[in-house]
Structure 1
Amino acid sequence: MRYHCIVVLSVIATGLLASFAKSLSPPWDDMHIKHSWNAVPNDWVSLGRPPSGTTIDLYIALKPHRENALIDALYEVSEPGHPRYRAHLTKEQVADLVAPRPETLELVNSWLEHHGISSSSVSMTHGGDTLKLKGISVIQANTLLGASYQVYRHVERGETIVRTVGYSLPRGLHWHVLTVAPTTSFVSPRTQWQTPRNHSSGETVGLVKSASGEPAMMLSSRAEVNYVTPPFLRWLYDTATYAPIAMGENVLGVAGFLGDNPSPADLLTFMREYRDVDDATYEVVKINGGGYDPTHPHEEANSNIQYAEAMAYPTPHIFYSTGKGPYDWYVTWLEYVLDQKDIPRTISISYGYEERYVPREYAFYVCDVFAKLGVLGVSVLVSSGNGGIGKGTCMNKDGMVRFIPNFPGTCPYVTVVGGTTEYQPEVAAVLSGGGFSDHFKRPPYQRQAVPTFLEDLGSRYQGLYNASGRGTPDIAAQSINLAIFLNGQEKMASGTSIATPVVAGIISLLNGWLISVGQDPLGFLNPWLYGRGLAALNDITEGSNPGCGTDGFSAVAGWDPVTGLGTPNFRKMLGQLF
């Protein structure tokens, strides 16, 4: 049996520490607590110790020799007007940016050698700053980290993970180690969709041909849209008359977790019905034991692949089936993707979890790995969540109400998609996740947009959110009552998990066009969206995202933590690429 966990280390590189590392290793038995929880987080129960003989894979991420080099490079290649805009880096260049100092490796290797970790089990991964220790016994890991691994099961979803409520490190490593995770990261990707329901009679929004042969709107009522289809979305976001290009080089990736799989039969039925094509398909890539059983499709995977295809067909698609197991889903998936020679230019991720259960240093590490994708020229779209500003009472451990942001959407280096509904005008969907990160500070591209919103908000909700944190979402799309096919039956589904592949499909079209004219793709989108791209977005100024026993935030002119900057207009976006 094999489980996975991550150890993330950072090193303060000074001449004094370098000399110290070379001349005298710290006492490895002088253990001090690095991180712990007071109790097992909500919704998890212990099943006891892992079976005898259980092994785990440890990922040791080392601090780079130039602390800010990766993020500096990311903004340089992502900021319109910069001399290096869209001059994305190679993997070799990224590896050089994030490479650890030699003394860092010496110190870490000394620590591992002290605990009998064979050098033959150690390799470098995750773009050049992470050591992978393969097949370490749980007993060795417990000793190495001063931990007590147990198997935990989620009481609702049933999946199991191997974690500990706390861990320690030698005192001499505390300045070198950023985090050990997922030893204390009790997180599990959650789908961002609502249970589909059967399609009943009601208003249908679609496109029909007018007498002249041009597309014409068919809408029985302006005030409320009860049933959304791809032709309507393609008309609304102005992609209906565009034919994708650069098919040989442009690929759209859809991330799947928790054993969720799509159905190719449902996709064909969906595309025949709404795109009038009969050859839509996708490649399946299995990661870390991921399976693929198309005879038992899941609503999440089906809706993701159907709407990515609906917007970007005939762009090639990859569906990543990541195994359902006790390891760390995101780090395992990111390891695989970064190791590929050719990475999709656009990636859609419709899974997330509450940031409050994500240790801060672990969040920083995963977020930096997403930054590596951005600097390589990959556009990553992530759903904002379906709970408004938070489900339930939102009580924190001190008994105080605190709005609940969702990770990895709170990472500043991904583009977060919220939800809208209705038409003329579009309004915010009440389910649209949004708010402010408690882990990540406000990024540079939000320095103008977010303060404007906060100034208008005033003292309302003061103390319930981090006013200096990264705001989400960045962009939005239709997310209520979208048509999908599941096991041959047409249903209606809602969620930002559907809005995300809709936007990802539009971004993929932009990336394909850039590639066709000999240009690098957009890569990390946000500096462009908040700058030049802003003129190509439809501002949403009505609706709110209630939660935590409050009315939530309101959609207003400009950016807001409900719909971000607004919804996309593809043709206008094309005009803002240069």
Structure 2
Amino acid sequence: VPIEFLSVGGDDFGTSLLDTTTFLDGVATPPSVMTTSYADNEADFGISMATKICNGYMALGSRGISVMFASGDGGVRGGHDSLSVCDDNTFMPVFPGTCPFVTAVGSTQGFGPEKAINFTGGGFSNFFPAPSYQTAAVASFLKTIPSDFAGTFNKSGRAYPDASVQGWNFEIVSGGEVGLVGGTSASSPTFAAIIALINDRLVAARKPVLGFLNPFIYSTASTAFTDITIGHNSGFVCPASSVAFDAAVGWDALTGFGTPIFSELLAAAMA
């Protein structure tokens, strides 16, 4: 599967995202998958700019592009947490993961059992309402939250992430040197690669590519994941004692439906 890297000039993240959607919406032969390993606090965009960008991703989905974003590395406390926010129980959602037209990807770690990593971004949008495709799954998760839960969040907002992939001790090569990294920035391109491989099989079978993924993930493919039921997304810096969401059976605001099982995800796509 060929890979292309897209670079957009300028220092304003929101404008760069908007420019990217405009460019990809205009190319004659668009890619079937796009992934971005960066995000920022939703509030920093403002609802007007966030809506413009999100509508751009809706347009890309209509062209058959599966759009994925890292869900953030600050747990419930934004793109990146810090010690100054550990006692703040007003959760901070991360955009573009909160856009209902993108697939937000969180992080897990370990095996036997696989767990949600502490920094995996997840929560509920303050800008975008919950889309119909996730209503039932999110309602089940909300029932697991205790009535005396101290966290403040928008229960009716678009919930994220949608899925997760391993995101710790990722081996990379940079400048000819081998090293280990971690973050949802590693998880999102890995999930994108899985979707690209599935699209390749679909094209070979003369079937359409998956395009906008979330309705597929929340219905036909919802059982094609390893359910992650252990974890607490307090953040990379904030201690585990900080208020945050806990992983649960089924969809949760740490790992979505969990980590993909390739054979089962492929079977669901080919059905």
Same fold (TM over 0.5): yes
Q: Deviations over 1:59-98 (max 9, x none)?
A: xxxxxxxxxxxxxxxxxxxxxxxxxxxxxxxxxxxxxxxx
CA distance in 2, matches of 1:440, 1:404: 14
Q: Which residue of 2 aligns with 1:552?
A: 244
Which protein has the bigger strand share?
Answer: 1
Q: Which residue of 1 aligns with 2:22?
A: 335
SS of residue paired to 2:6: strand
Q: Which residue of 1 aligns with 2:185?
A: 497
CA distance in 2, matches of 1:546, 1:377: 35
Query: Contact 1:382 / 1:417 at 8 angstroms: preserved in 2?
Result: yes
CA distance in 1, matches of 2:159, 2:118: 17
CA distance in 1, matches of 2:17, 2:70: 15
Q: Deviations over 1:280-317 (max 9, x none)?
A: xxxxxxxxxxxxxxxxxxxxxxxxxxxxxxxxxxx111
CA distance in 2, matches of 1:491, 1:463: 36
Q: Compute the displacement of 1:473 (Å).
A: 0.4
Query: Contact 2:21 / 2:60 at 8 angstroms: preserved in 1?
Result: no
Q: Deviations over 1:397-449 (max 9, x none)?
A: xx974111110000000000000000122110111011111111111111111
The RMSD of aligned alpha carbons is: 1.8
1:363 aligned to 50, 53, 58, which one? 50
Query: Contact 2:202 / 2:209 at 8 angstroms: preserved in 1?
Result: yes
In structure 2, do the counterparts of structure 1 residues 463 and 480 end up closer, same or farther at CA, with 3 Å as the change threshold? closer
CA distance in 1, matches of 2:11, 2:186: 25
Give the 5 Å matches for 1:172-571.
315-326=1-12, 328-390=15-77, 391-392=81-82, 393-394=84-85, 401-461=89-149, 464-547=152-235, 550-571=242-263
Q: Compute the displacement of 1:458 (Å).
A: 2.9
SS of residue paired to 1:532: coil
Number of aligned positions between the proteins: 261
CA distance in 2, matches of 1:343, 1:409: 21
Query: Contact 1:394 / 1:403 at 8 angstroms: preserved in 2?
Result: no
Q: Which residue of 2 aligns with 1:574?
A: 266
One-letter identity of the residue aligned with 1:318: E
SS of residue paired to 2:69: strand
Q: Compute the displacement of 1:475 (Å).
A: 0.2
TM-score, normalised by the number of residues in structure 1: 0.44
Unaligned runs of 5+ in 1: 1-314
Paired-residue identity, %: 37
In structure 2, do the counterparts of structure 1 residues 352 and 321 end up closer, same or farther at CA, with 3 Å as the change threshold? same
CA distance in 1, matches of 2:85, 2:147: 19
Q: Deviations over 1:476-507 (max 9, x none)?
A: 00001111112111111000000111100000
One-letter identity of the residue aligned with 1:459: S
SS of residue paired to 2:4: strand
CA distance in 2, matches of 1:574, 1:323: 36
Give the 5 Å matches for 1:23-102.
none
Q: Compute the displacement of 1:519 (Å).
A: 1.1
Q: Which has the higher contact order (CA 8 A, sep 6+)?
A: 2
Query: Contact 1:379 / 1:524 at 8 angstroms: preserved in 2?
Result: yes
Query: Contact 1:394 / 1:402 at 8 angstroms: preserved in 2?
Result: no
CA distance in 1, matches of 2:12, 2:33: 28
Query: Contact 1:427 / 1:540 at 8 angstroms: preserved in 2?
Result: yes
Q: Which residue of 2 aligns with 1:173?
A: none
Runs of 4+ in 1 over 4 A off after TM superposition: none
Q: Compute the displacement of 1:460 (Å).
A: 4.1
One-letter identity of the residue aligned with 2:90: R
Q: Which residue of 2 aligns with 1:240?
A: none
CA distance in 2, matches of 1:326, 1:449: 35
CA distance in 1, matches of 2:218, 2:89: 31
CA distance in 2, matches of 1:375, 1:324: 27
Q: Compute the displacement of 1:321 (Å).
A: 1.6
CA distance in 2, matches of 1:324, 1:486: 24
CA distance in 1, matches of 2:164, 2:93: 16
Unaligned runs of 5+ in 2: none
Query: Contact 1:472 / 1:561 at 8 angstroms: preserved in 2?
Result: yes
In structure 2, do the counterparts of structure 1 residues 379 and 534 end up closer, same or farther at CA, with 3 Å as the change threshold? same
Query: Contact 1:394 / 1:404 at 8 angstroms: preserved in 2?
Result: no
CA distance in 2, matches of 1:349, 1:535: 25
